[in-house]
Structure 1
């Protein structure tokens, strides 16, 4: 833990750009606050408006306006929300649907571990900030060159996205009856599409791409034969399977080198 804290502090200075090591290329110049706010607003507005699609899909799955809005207010993680209502709409067991949504949301806990070191927020603020630890706020915060910029990016993205997501969820739930069949409009695919668009640029290593590819194969492969909500649980096995294989391969390679 001490090594992690030291590393985080060295990587992200409080107010200035990242320091460059001797002999390395110059560190990037500090980013103006206005540029951070602009980028954060762009992400928050673009993704926040897709809450309309969730509101329509949720209402189409049989949830009331109150239940739909409660999911956005309390859960506030789009992929998990879409997974839950999608499984319910397909006739899945509520417990299985909730389990699938839960496993999708677990990733936010890992985001929180990294962001806690990066942002270093005061203790009383952390429980409130935890509600905003999602893909978009994490991506914006980690892209910043300093702790100050990361805090601004996280706060502006979180506030904008949370506000617009909940307002557009309400609008979608209220307008679902007027729109009719959500499948005809393709709105049920809007949320997952946004999630995948944000995830794709983050798959930088071969291991990450392998995990993502295997998860897709498992999810789609078991979709026709397993009850709704279960394929996403099976897809979650991709990460431990690939990590086990990588560990075994490195161990074998290490033994071969020793010889």
Structure 2
């Protein structure tokens, strides 16, 4: 029986802990990214466990001009802006709400500023990636060599543009991403500050934040992430947010 996204998230909320290690680690779920035909881009992070602070939720929004804002429910120093804030505006907000309509669709809201509905489905490609993720031993998700090989493979299988599972963030820390389960975001609508983002659709040029590339087709995930600490950050790579492969 296929595990639905809602079931996977429920399991994650009770069973998925932090991976072992001494680096900065997170476990949770969300929308890896969803592009919209009018140039907007949205991502959701619901980090249920963190080695550096409390659980939190964050919304990443790219407007049609290419400017990014990260909205976070936690102090920016212990949430997404800790790693990506040098390339984005940052705003701490009181709450981000997630409500499941059924096993395959959910609503995300942020007061009156964001209304976002996502409809998910499993495809042959996402099932293949989820099976691969479930079969990999824990040590492999912490291996640069393995992740370097998996990125191009995931790009080919998911047909979502360039994907990198390790690299450098805009703030200079190393990151390693472990999407253990994956689904496609196939439809839904989004409104940001009263504006309609339009239908789901690829951007003219794929967006990135340093080495972190945002998928050109909507993806939803359950997984984990690792980052080196600020004291280990190197000089941040070029921060061009839209680059061709």
Higher relative contact order (CA 8 A, sep 6+): 1
Q: TM-score range by the shorter chain?
A: under 0.3
TM-score, reference length from structure 1: 0.21
* Bigger share in helix: 1
Larger Rg: 1
